Amino acid sequence: MDALDKPFRLPFSKRSTTLRHALMHSAYWVLITGFFIYEKRYLIYKASMPYFAACVAGRIVLLIIIAYLNLQYFLPRYLLRKRYLAYFTAIILSVLGYLTAQSLFDFYLYGYVVGPMRNSNLVESLSYNFFSTLWYLGLMLALKLSMDWYGQQLVIQKITVEKLNAEVNFLRAQVNPHFLFNILNNLYALTLKKSELAPDVVLKLSEMMEYMLYDSTGEKVPLEKEISYLSNYIELERLRFSGGAAINLNINAALNGYEIAPLLLLPLVENAFKHGLGKQTKGGWLKVDIGLVQSTLKVVVENAKPLIVVDMGKGGIGLDNLRKRLDLLYPASYTLQLEDKKDAFLAKLVIDLI
Protein backbone atom coordinates (compact mmCIF):
# COMPACT_ATOMS: atom_id res chain seq x y z
CA MET A 1 0.00 0.00 0.00
CA ASP A 2 1.20 3.53 -0.81
CA ALA A 3 2.33 5.38 2.33
CA LEU A 4 0.04 8.27 1.37
CA ASP A 5 -2.98 5.94 1.38
CA LYS A 6 -2.27 4.31 4.75
CA PRO A 7 -5.15 5.15 7.14
CA PHE A 8 -4.68 6.77 10.55
CA ARG A 9 -7.14 7.89 13.23
CA LEU A 10 -7.87 11.58 13.59
CA PRO A 11 -7.11 13.11 17.01
CA PHE A 12 -10.15 13.56 19.28
CA SER A 13 -12.27 11.54 16.86
CA LYS A 14 -13.25 7.97 16.05
CA ARG A 15 -12.91 8.67 12.34
CA SER A 16 -9.86 7.78 10.27
CA THR A 17 -8.38 9.30 7.13
CA THR A 18 -5.27 8.98 4.98
CA LEU A 19 -2.22 11.17 4.66
CA ARG A 20 -3.19 11.90 1.03
CA HIS A 21 -6.61 13.21 2.11
CA ALA A 22 -5.11 15.20 4.99
CA LEU A 23 -2.57 16.86 2.69
CA MET A 24 -5.22 17.72 0.09
CA HIS A 25 -7.53 19.24 2.71
CA SER A 26 -4.62 21.17 4.23
CA ALA A 27 -3.60 22.49 0.82
CA TYR A 28 -7.20 23.62 0.19
CA TRP A 29 -7.37 25.63 3.42
CA VAL A 30 -3.91 27.11 2.89
CA LEU A 31 -5.09 28.38 -0.51
CA ILE A 32 -8.31 29.80 0.95
CA THR A 33 -6.36 31.48 3.76
CA GLY A 34 -3.91 32.91 1.25
CA PHE A 35 -6.80 34.31 -0.79
CA PHE A 36 -8.33 36.02 2.27
CA ILE A 37 -4.96 37.44 3.32
CA TYR A 38 -4.50 38.90 -0.15
CA GLU A 39 -8.07 40.23 -0.32
CA LYS A 40 -8.05 41.82 3.13
CA ARG A 41 -4.44 43.04 3.24
CA TYR A 42 -5.58 46.68 3.10
CA LEU A 43 -6.99 46.28 6.64
CA ILE A 44 -3.42 46.26 7.98
CA TYR A 45 -3.23 49.97 7.08
CA LYS A 46 -6.89 50.89 7.50
CA ALA A 47 -7.68 49.15 10.78
CA SER A 48 -4.39 47.74 12.23
CA MET A 49 -2.90 44.26 12.35
CA PRO A 50 -5.11 42.80 15.15
CA TYR A 51 -8.32 43.58 13.23
CA PHE A 52 -6.77 42.19 10.02
CA ALA A 53 -5.80 38.96 11.80
CA ALA A 54 -9.22 38.71 13.46
CA CYS A 55 -11.00 39.23 10.14
CA VAL A 56 -9.01 36.51 8.31
CA ALA A 57 -8.93 34.04 11.22
CA GLY A 58 -12.64 34.51 11.96
CA ARG A 59 -13.66 33.78 8.36
CA ILE A 60 -11.43 30.72 8.08
CA VAL A 61 -12.47 29.23 11.42
CA LEU A 62 -16.19 29.72 10.68
CA LEU A 63 -15.81 28.24 7.18
CA ILE A 64 -13.90 25.24 8.54
CA ILE A 65 -16.64 24.64 11.13
CA ILE A 66 -19.54 24.63 8.67
CA ALA A 67 -17.51 22.79 5.98
CA TYR A 68 -16.73 19.84 8.26
CA LEU A 69 -20.16 19.89 9.83
CA ASN A 70 -21.40 19.33 6.30
CA LEU A 71 -18.83 16.67 5.34
CA GLN A 72 -18.65 14.71 8.58
CA TYR A 73 -22.16 15.09 9.97
CA PHE A 74 -24.83 16.44 7.60
CA LEU A 75 -23.80 14.39 4.54
CA PRO A 76 -23.63 10.92 6.17
CA ARG A 77 -26.49 11.53 8.61
CA TYR A 78 -29.01 13.16 6.27
CA LEU A 79 -28.09 13.31 2.56
CA LEU A 80 -26.74 9.76 2.20
CA ARG A 81 -29.83 8.46 4.01
CA LYS A 82 -32.04 10.42 1.59
CA ARG A 83 -33.32 12.76 4.28
CA TYR A 84 -33.12 15.69 1.87
CA LEU A 85 -35.31 18.15 3.80
CA ALA A 86 -33.30 17.66 6.98
CA TYR A 87 -30.04 18.03 5.04
CA PHE A 88 -30.94 21.29 3.32
CA THR A 89 -32.43 22.65 6.56
CA ALA A 90 -29.17 21.89 8.37
CA ILE A 91 -27.13 23.53 5.60
CA ILE A 92 -29.30 26.66 5.60
CA LEU A 93 -29.16 26.95 9.39
CA SER A 94 -25.37 26.56 9.43
CA VAL A 95 -24.99 29.17 6.67
CA LEU A 96 -27.33 31.53 8.55
CA GLY A 97 -25.23 31.06 11.66
CA TYR A 98 -22.09 31.93 9.69
CA LEU A 99 -23.83 34.94 8.12
CA THR A 100 -24.97 36.27 11.46
CA ALA A 101 -21.55 36.07 13.08
CA GLN A 102 -19.55 37.25 10.08
CA SER A 103 -21.89 40.02 8.97
CA LEU A 104 -22.12 41.50 12.48
CA PHE A 105 -18.31 41.53 12.67
CA ASP A 106 -18.08 43.13 9.19
CA PHE A 107 -20.73 45.71 10.15
CA TYR A 108 -18.71 46.65 13.23
CA LEU A 109 -15.34 46.55 11.41
CA TYR A 110 -16.28 48.63 8.40
CA GLY A 111 -18.84 50.85 10.13
CA TYR A 112 -16.94 51.79 13.27
CA VAL A 113 -13.28 50.77 12.93
CA VAL A 114 -12.55 51.62 9.31
CA GLY A 115 -15.18 54.34 9.62
CA PRO A 116 -15.82 56.93 6.93
CA MET A 117 -13.22 55.49 4.56
CA ARG A 118 -15.70 52.71 3.76
CA ASN A 119 -19.44 52.76 4.15
CA SER A 120 -21.03 49.86 6.04
CA ASN A 121 -24.11 48.27 4.49
CA LEU A 122 -25.61 45.32 6.37
CA VAL A 123 -27.60 44.07 3.36
CA GLU A 124 -24.51 44.19 1.14
CA SER A 125 -22.49 42.38 3.81
CA LEU A 126 -25.13 39.67 4.16
CA SER A 127 -25.33 39.18 0.39
CA TYR A 128 -21.55 38.97 -0.02
CA ASN A 129 -21.08 36.53 2.85
CA PHE A 130 -24.02 34.35 1.77
CA PHE A 131 -22.76 33.75 -1.77
CA SER A 132 -19.11 33.46 -0.77
CA THR A 133 -20.07 30.85 1.83
CA LEU A 134 -22.00 28.78 -0.71
CA TRP A 135 -19.04 29.07 -3.09
CA TYR A 136 -16.54 27.75 -0.56
CA LEU A 137 -18.88 25.00 0.60
CA GLY A 138 -19.35 23.97 -3.04
CA LEU A 139 -15.59 23.87 -3.57
CA MET A 140 -15.14 21.75 -0.44
CA LEU A 141 -17.90 19.37 -1.53
CA ALA A 142 -16.35 19.08 -5.01
CA LEU A 143 -13.00 18.28 -3.40
CA LYS A 144 -14.56 15.54 -1.28
CA LEU A 145 -16.44 14.02 -4.23
CA SER A 146 -13.26 14.04 -6.34
CA MET A 147 -11.31 12.32 -3.57
CA ASP A 148 -14.08 9.75 -3.07
CA TRP A 149 -14.10 9.05 -6.82
CA TYR A 150 -10.33 8.64 -6.80
CA GLY A 151 -10.59 6.21 -3.88
CA GLN A 152 -13.26 4.19 -5.68
CA GLN A 153 -11.07 3.99 -8.79
CA LEU A 154 -8.18 2.66 -6.69
CA VAL A 155 -10.46 -0.01 -5.21
CA ILE A 156 -11.80 -0.99 -8.64
CA GLN A 157 -8.29 -1.19 -10.05
CA LYS A 158 -7.12 -3.28 -7.08
CA ILE A 159 -10.03 -5.71 -7.52
CA THR A 160 -9.34 -5.96 -11.26
CA VAL A 161 -5.64 -6.65 -10.70
CA GLU A 162 -6.45 -9.28 -8.06
CA LYS A 163 -8.93 -10.96 -10.41
CA LEU A 164 -6.44 -11.11 -13.27
CA ASN A 165 -3.68 -12.31 -10.94
CA ALA A 166 -6.00 -15.05 -9.70
CA GLU A 167 -6.54 -16.17 -13.28
CA VAL A 168 -2.79 -16.21 -13.91
CA ASN A 169 -2.25 -18.14 -10.67
CA PHE A 170 -4.86 -20.63 -11.83
CA LEU A 171 -2.96 -21.02 -15.11
CA ARG A 172 0.24 -21.56 -13.14
CA ALA A 173 -1.42 -24.15 -10.91
CA GLN A 174 -3.14 -26.19 -13.58
CA VAL A 175 -0.02 -26.45 -15.83
CA ASN A 176 -2.33 -27.25 -18.73
CA PRO A 177 -3.26 -30.90 -18.00
CA HIS A 178 -3.54 -31.81 -21.69
CA PHE A 179 -0.10 -30.41 -22.40
CA LEU A 180 1.44 -32.21 -19.42
CA PHE A 181 -0.37 -35.47 -20.29
CA ASN A 182 0.97 -35.38 -23.86
CA ILE A 183 4.51 -34.60 -22.72
CA LEU A 184 4.50 -37.48 -20.23
CA ASN A 185 3.17 -39.85 -22.91
CA ASN A 186 5.90 -38.75 -25.29
CA LEU A 187 8.49 -39.09 -22.54
CA TYR A 188 7.26 -42.60 -21.78
CA ALA A 189 7.58 -43.55 -25.46
CA LEU A 190 11.10 -42.10 -25.58
CA THR A 191 12.19 -44.05 -22.50
CA LEU A 192 10.85 -47.29 -24.01
CA LYS A 193 12.95 -46.62 -27.06
CA LYS A 194 15.86 -45.57 -24.83
CA SER A 195 16.02 -42.42 -26.89
CA GLU A 196 18.76 -39.87 -26.25
CA LEU A 197 16.03 -37.19 -26.28
CA ALA A 198 14.50 -38.38 -23.00
CA PRO A 199 16.94 -36.60 -20.63
CA ASP A 200 16.53 -33.36 -22.59
CA VAL A 201 12.74 -33.58 -22.35
CA VAL A 202 12.93 -34.14 -18.59
CA LEU A 203 15.26 -31.15 -18.22
CA LYS A 204 13.03 -28.84 -20.24
CA LEU A 205 9.92 -29.93 -18.36
CA SER A 206 11.74 -29.41 -15.06
CA GLU A 207 12.80 -25.89 -16.08
CA MET A 208 9.22 -25.06 -17.08
CA MET A 209 7.82 -26.29 -13.80
CA GLU A 210 10.43 -24.36 -11.81
CA TYR A 211 9.62 -21.16 -13.71
CA MET A 212 5.85 -21.52 -13.31
CA LEU A 213 5.93 -22.47 -9.63
CA TYR A 214 8.74 -20.24 -8.34
CA ASP A 215 10.31 -17.76 -10.76
CA SER A 216 7.05 -16.27 -12.08
CA THR A 217 5.54 -15.34 -8.71
CA GLY A 218 6.84 -11.73 -8.76
CA GLU A 219 5.47 -8.72 -10.62
CA LYS A 220 8.38 -8.76 -13.09
CA VAL A 221 10.83 -11.42 -14.26
CA PRO A 222 13.99 -11.20 -16.38
CA LEU A 223 13.04 -11.18 -20.06
CA GLU A 224 15.52 -13.95 -20.84
CA LYS A 225 13.73 -16.27 -18.38
CA GLU A 226 10.34 -15.56 -19.95
CA ILE A 227 11.76 -16.26 -23.43
CA SER A 228 13.51 -19.39 -22.17
CA TYR A 229 10.23 -20.65 -20.73
CA LEU A 230 8.49 -19.95 -24.03
CA SER A 231 11.26 -21.73 -25.93
CA ASN A 232 10.96 -24.82 -23.71
CA TYR A 233 7.19 -24.79 -24.16
CA ILE A 234 7.56 -24.72 -27.95
CA GLU A 235 10.22 -27.45 -27.94
CA LEU A 236 8.07 -29.77 -25.85
CA GLU A 237 5.00 -29.08 -27.98
CA ARG A 238 7.13 -29.89 -31.00
CA LEU A 239 7.23 -33.53 -29.82
CA ARG A 240 3.47 -33.79 -30.46
CA PHE A 241 3.87 -32.71 -34.08
CA SER A 242 7.20 -34.35 -34.89
CA GLY A 243 7.36 -34.72 -38.65
CA GLY A 244 3.85 -33.38 -39.14
CA ALA A 245 4.27 -29.61 -38.80
CA ALA A 246 6.85 -26.91 -39.39
CA ILE A 247 7.49 -25.08 -36.12
CA ASN A 248 10.04 -22.25 -36.08
CA LEU A 249 11.20 -19.97 -33.27
CA ASN A 250 13.43 -17.02 -34.21
CA ILE A 251 14.96 -14.83 -31.49
CA ASN A 252 16.74 -11.76 -32.81
CA ALA A 253 17.59 -9.87 -29.65
CA ALA A 254 20.02 -9.47 -26.77
CA LEU A 255 17.63 -9.95 -23.85
CA ASN A 256 19.85 -9.18 -20.88
CA GLY A 257 18.92 -6.27 -18.65
CA TYR A 258 15.17 -6.08 -19.33
CA GLU A 259 12.20 -7.33 -17.32
CA ILE A 260 8.63 -8.24 -18.23
CA ALA A 261 5.45 -9.35 -16.45
CA PRO A 262 5.51 -13.16 -16.11
CA LEU A 263 3.53 -15.49 -18.39
CA LEU A 264 2.57 -12.55 -20.60
CA LEU A 265 3.71 -14.09 -23.88
CA LEU A 266 2.32 -17.58 -23.29
CA PRO A 267 -1.30 -16.89 -24.44
CA LEU A 268 -0.14 -15.88 -27.93
CA VAL A 269 1.72 -19.16 -28.50
CA GLU A 270 -0.70 -21.31 -26.50
CA ASN A 271 -3.64 -20.19 -28.65
CA ALA A 272 -1.66 -20.83 -31.82
CA PHE A 273 -1.00 -24.42 -30.76
CA LYS A 274 -4.43 -25.10 -29.32
CA HIS A 275 -6.59 -23.52 -32.01
CA GLY A 276 -4.17 -23.70 -34.93
CA LEU A 277 -1.86 -26.72 -35.06
CA GLY A 278 -4.08 -28.64 -32.65
CA LYS A 279 -6.92 -28.53 -35.20
CA GLN A 280 -4.76 -29.34 -38.23
CA THR A 281 -4.57 -32.85 -39.68
CA LYS A 282 -1.74 -32.04 -42.08
CA GLY A 283 0.21 -29.15 -43.54
CA GLY A 284 0.24 -27.17 -40.31
CA TRP A 285 2.90 -24.62 -39.51
CA LEU A 286 3.77 -22.16 -36.78
CA LYS A 287 6.26 -19.30 -36.77
CA VAL A 288 7.29 -17.22 -33.75
CA ASP A 289 9.54 -14.18 -34.21
CA ILE A 290 10.89 -12.30 -31.18
CA GLY A 291 12.85 -9.08 -31.54
CA LEU A 292 14.06 -6.33 -29.21
CA VAL A 293 15.05 -2.86 -30.39
CA GLN A 294 16.34 -0.76 -27.49
CA SER A 295 13.52 -1.22 -24.95
CA THR A 296 10.77 -2.19 -27.41
CA LEU A 297 9.89 -5.87 -27.54
CA LYS A 298 8.09 -7.22 -30.60
CA VAL A 299 6.58 -10.72 -30.67
CA VAL A 300 4.92 -12.00 -33.85
CA VAL A 301 3.10 -15.34 -33.79
CA GLU A 302 1.67 -16.65 -37.05
CA ASN A 303 0.09 -20.04 -37.72
CA ALA A 304 -1.80 -21.83 -40.45
CA LYS A 305 -5.57 -21.73 -40.11
CA PRO A 306 -7.39 -25.05 -39.79
CA LEU A 307 -10.23 -25.92 -42.13
CA ILE A 308 -12.69 -25.35 -39.27
CA VAL A 309 -11.87 -22.06 -37.60
CA VAL A 310 -12.33 -21.83 -33.82
CA ASP A 311 -12.44 -18.59 -31.84
CA MET A 312 -8.82 -17.84 -30.94
CA GLY A 313 -9.80 -15.98 -27.78
CA LYS A 314 -11.10 -19.03 -25.93
CA GLY A 315 -9.09 -21.52 -23.91
CA GLY A 316 -6.31 -20.90 -21.41
CA ILE A 317 -6.37 -17.41 -19.99
CA GLY A 318 -7.24 -16.25 -23.50
CA LEU A 319 -6.41 -13.19 -25.53
CA ASP A 320 -9.13 -11.16 -23.80
CA ASN A 321 -7.42 -11.67 -20.47
CA LEU A 322 -4.07 -10.85 -22.06
CA ARG A 323 -5.39 -7.52 -23.31
CA LYS A 324 -6.79 -6.68 -19.85
CA ARG A 325 -3.44 -7.49 -18.23
CA LEU A 326 -1.64 -5.33 -20.77
CA ASP A 327 -4.04 -2.44 -20.10
CA LEU A 328 -3.15 -2.60 -16.42
CA LEU A 329 0.55 -3.42 -16.63
CA TYR A 330 1.57 -1.42 -19.71
CA PRO A 331 -1.07 1.31 -20.25
CA ALA A 332 -0.35 3.36 -23.38
CA SER A 333 2.90 1.37 -23.81
CA TYR A 334 1.75 -1.55 -25.95
CA THR A 335 -0.11 -2.53 -29.11
CA LEU A 336 -1.75 -5.89 -29.69
CA GLN A 337 -2.71 -6.55 -33.28
CA LEU A 338 -4.75 -9.61 -34.29
CA GLU A 339 -5.09 -10.28 -38.01
CA ASP A 340 -7.29 -12.97 -39.53
CA LYS A 341 -5.78 -13.67 -42.94
CA LYS A 342 -7.10 -15.96 -45.63
CA ASP A 343 -4.86 -18.92 -44.75
CA ALA A 344 -3.27 -17.83 -41.49
CA PHE A 345 -3.84 -16.12 -38.21
CA LEU A 346 -1.35 -13.49 -37.01
CA ALA A 347 -0.88 -11.97 -33.58
CA LYS A 348 1.63 -9.15 -33.08
CA LEU A 349 2.46 -7.76 -29.67
CA VAL A 350 4.69 -4.70 -29.24
CA ILE A 351 5.60 -3.56 -25.70
CA ASP A 352 7.79 -0.74 -24.45
CA LEU A 353 9.42 -2.42 -21.45
CA ILE A 354 10.54 0.83 -19.81
Q: Where are the domains of the chain?
A: 3-160, 175-352
Q: What mean pLDDT comes out for the span 147-153?
A: 65
Question: Which homologous superfamily does the CATH classification assign to the domain defined by 175-352?
Answer: Histidine kinase-like ATPase, C-terminal domain (3.30.565.10)
- How far, in Å, CA of 114 to CA of 264, rounded? 72
Looking at residue 83, what is its pLDDT? 86
Q: Where are the beta strands (DSSP E) in the chain?
A: 7-9, 16-18, 221-222, 245-252, 259-260, 284-293, 296-304, 334-340, 344-352
Looking at residue 308, what is its pLDDT? 62
Render 22-37 in DSSP notation, one character per residue.
HHHHHHHHHHHHHHHH
Write the pLDDT tens digit of every residue in 1-54. Answer: 556 666 666 665 566 677 777 787 788 778 888 877 887 777 777 777 887 888
- pLDDT band at residue 316 using 50, 70 and 90 as cut-offs: very low
Please tell me the pTM assigned to this model: 0.54
Cβ contact 167:173 at 8 Å? no
